[in-house]
A = this chain, B = another copy of it.
Amino acid sequence: MRRMTARPANAHQARLLKLLRDGGPNSRAQLGDQVDLSRSKLAVEVDRLLETGLVVADGLAASRGGRRSHNIRLAPELRFLGVDIGATSIDVAVTNAELEILGHITQPMEVREGPVAVFEQVLAMAAKLKASGLAEGFDGAGIGVPGPVRFPEGVPVAPPIMPGWDGFPVREALSQELGCPVMVDNDVNLMAMGEQHAGVARSVADFLCVKIGTGIGCGIVVGGGVHRGTTGSAGDIGHIQAVPDGRPCACGNRGCLEAHFSGAALARDALEAAQQGQSVELASRLEVNGTLTAVDVAAAAAAGDAVCLDLIREGGTRTGQVIAGLVSFFNPGLVVIGGGVTGLGHTLLAAIRTQVYRQSLPLATGNLPIVLGELGPTAGVIGAARLISDHLFSPA
């Protein structure tokens, strides 16, 4: 079918589209309660939106005591593609215009293999979703990559863990292939946007979203918007020094947080513990799989393995130290912990909490929730869909 190409003509229409996206189908009257426009003006703008095809009528709403109103909703055929490229996996999902996930595929893939191979994979996954009948085409796509991005152009800049991606025109290329608008951002920022849209961070203006995966990053939301920094590298907390003169890090320094705690570091620690015979649980897992990952540590910890619990606790403490500093500095209203190692769950969370509450001033921590992300692996793709929808639902 023909894809939608219309964009809102003014700020009012943009506002209405976002309300319908975030609040689902709504009657004109309910919309009127939220936008502070006269009924006449509202009717005009809604009619225009109906003309563009971006929104459609959707039956009658329940009565609120008088005449029943006709519901309005975003066109149900609209489709967004959300892509979350992690260090070792790719997530691709299709959503409708309300950013509900209609289909979601995950595949392991090393981002190190370079943009060409990854792109091929992403396109194959998108094609698969299309083939399964979920979409006949995409009205827009958002994509997250595990490194800094020059946001306006949608191009990765000097990404440490993505050799070959520096300067690769991700936005341009994907837009070309998919035939729709594309926006690119750091994966951590997308996770933050995902949790903001549909997760724990709804209605919080200033919060931090710490993602602990292969590396560690932090999404920063200020006044409801993502802060990307001057060069797009804001939130790159993996290389903050957590241990003076600590372990050497790939970045050339010593004691970086990421060198002491992250998916990669955890796997290395686990391997060492297994080889030195400190943990029976880990050793047997090593024997079976031939390798160890953070998942093994999580499983062993869940089974009560003391070494693994210690590893997690120590990592949580290190992470908590860094977060404590950030909390003092930024004074957020919420801290969300997410990413691959959320499987470590409450042991990790408890360690982080303890450290933050101990080390930051009471005024900053007094009413500061520190919680796990609610959306798990879907946070990134929802955030990606949100990114492109924010773009498309803004006046051209």
Contacts and interface: CB of A to CB of B under 8 A. Distances in A.
Size band of the interface chain A makes with B = 35 or more
Contacts of A350: none
Nearest to A325: B240
Interface of A is mostly: loop
Contact of A231 (B227, B229, B233, B331): B331
Interface string A222-240: 1100011111111111011
A218 B329 contact: yes
A198 interface: no
A361 B257 CA distance: 13
Given A231-B364, A324-B241, A367-B231, A236 B331 contact: yes
Given A241-B325, A363-B158, A229 B332 contact: yes
B363 A331 contact: no
B157 A236 contact: no
Number of copies of this protein chain within its complex? 2
Nearest to A321: B241
A152 interface: no
Contacts of A160: 361
A364 B233 contact: yes
Nearest to A157: B363
A142 interface: no
A360 B360 CA distance: 23
Contact of A230 (B228, B233, B240, B332): B332
A333 B230 contact: yes
Interface of A: 148, 157-158, 160, 205-206, 218, 220, 222-223, 227-237, 239-241, 243-244, 251, 253, 321-322, 324-326, 328-333, 358-364, 366-368
Given A229-B364, A233-B331, A235-B329, 7 more contacts: A148-B363, A230-B367, A230-B368, A231-B366, A235-B331, A239-B328, A253-B358
